[in-house]
Structure 1
Amino acid sequence: MPRFSKQTPVPRLTPVEPPYDPETAEALQALGPPLTLFRIFARRPERAAGIHQWGRYYMSRRSALSLRHRELVIDRTTARCGAEYEWGVHIAVFADKVGLDAEQVHSLATGTPDDTCWTDPADRAVLHAVDALHDVGDLGDDRWQELIAAVGDEAAIDLLLVCGWYHAISFVARALRLPPEPGTPAFSG
């Protein structure tokens, strides 16, 4: 289960602020809304551009993971990592789009894949895989077969990569003490 520490509401690094130089503005335009995390990445436009390139596949419809399963991976990973900033952004933007109800949102933050709100075996398989990857960095044969049966080979590879990527994003959000974005939920909410 996630271990949360109350974080300082002031980031450890200052994100870029407008007016942006042309290279920074271009990098931010590619990343999306000017979230604090993106403005931290844009302190080096080359870094922001690289992150954008990675996200062009994984945050698009080209990914073998369905939008719902991608969000389950991201939400569960960021919750397990205690990255309330990133979890809140994704819940605020995607929870309704992927059909997550209040009980499922709460379970993603503090529950288990075996909570009664998870009635779809594919959802459970995805969540079990994320928890196993977080806990031991691997999937046993039974978990692997459960995941393959639920989402297929190509989506399983994408799940592994998205889960790993959001561990990295979680490390950044937590270590930099990023305060919640306005209007985003907290784990307890």
Structure 2
Amino acid sequence: MPLKSKQPRIVPLEPPFDAEAADVLERLGPPIQLFRVWARRPDLARGVASWGRYYFSTQSALTVRQRELVIHRTTARCGADYEWGVHVAAFAEKAGFDEAQLGSLAAGSPSDACWDAADRAVLTAVDELRATADLSDETWAHLVAASGEDGALDVLLVCGWYHAISFTVRALRLPLEPGTTRPDSP
């Protein structure tokens, strides 16, 4: 889904950063454009840093692969090219995704031959959440079998969180970070 404007609607902060912005950017991670937009509102950025980044990186019941299945699929389905590109660059290799899997995440199906049953359960849940904002009993059972109850709860939260991130990066019209790609060209 092409964006209408190529200019960001809120210009990310540029260096040199004041002390408060520098502090929140250090908490968030590499100073990518999205984080530099959030840093314009340090209280917002601190909240995101203290919950989202910390929780998803250190406390989640999901493996890196499961987490990235949810994020890659959600951002691709939402047309969030910016966030897709950031996650492919930062996590695709760590998650063990090959080219066929990246292509399937972008435009394929959970039933594609490149997925095992556990990956398929996570992807089916993401697609069903996106389509219906709910999960059937069958999808829930497969998801719990693949990730456990704690992992299934985290799938719901990560999927919802990355819908919000997708809405944000699309509405802000953030251009791709240098060295990243769109879902149609993993």
Task: State the TM-score bracket (shorter-chain normalisation).
Answer: over 0.9
Tell me the CA shift for residue 7 of structure 1. 4.3
Q: Does 1:56 align with 2:54?
A: yes
Spell out structure 1 runs of 4+ moving beyond 4 A: none
Q: What TM-score does the superposition give when structure 1 sets the normalisation length?
A: 0.95
Alignment of 1:9-48 (within 5 A): 9-48=6-45
Give distance in 2, aligned partners of 1:91 and 1:149. 26
Q: Which amino acid aligns with 2:87?
A: H
Q: Does 1:167 align with 2:163?
A: yes
Give distance in 2, aligned partners of 1:91 and 1:8. 23
**C-alpha contact (below 8 Å) 1:129/1:143 kept by paired residues:** yes
Tell me the CA shift for residue 18 of structure 1. 1.2
Show CA shifts across 1:28-80 (max 9, x none). Answer: 010011100000011101100000011201122x2100110000000000011
Give distance in 2, aligned partners of 1:98 and 1:117. 14
Unaligned runs of 5+ in 2: none
Q: What is residue 94 of structure 2 aligned with on the other side? A: 97
Give distance in 2, aligned partners of 1:176 and 1:7. 11
Unaligned runs of 5+ in 1: none
Q: What is residue 151 of structure 1 aligned with on the other side? A: 147
Give distance in 2, aligned partners of 1:126 and 1:163. 10
- The 3-state SS of whatever aligns with 1:17 is coil
The percentage of counterpart residues that share the same residue type is: 58
Deviates most, 8-17 or 164-173: 8-17
- The 3-state SS of whatever aligns with 2:93 is coil
Tell me the CA shift for residue 8 of structure 1. 2.6
Q: What is residue 177 of structure 1 aligned with on the other side? A: 173
Tell me the CA shift for residue 20 of structure 1. 1.0
Q: Which amino acid aligns with 2:57?
A: M
More helix, by proportion: 2
Q: What is residue 70 of structure 2 aligned with on the other side? A: 73
Q: Which amino acid aligns with 1:67?
A: V
Q: Which amino acid aligns with 1:163?
A: C
Among 127, 130, 135, the alignment partner of 2:131 is 135
**C-alpha contact (below 8 Å) 2:32/2:177 kept by paired residues:** yes
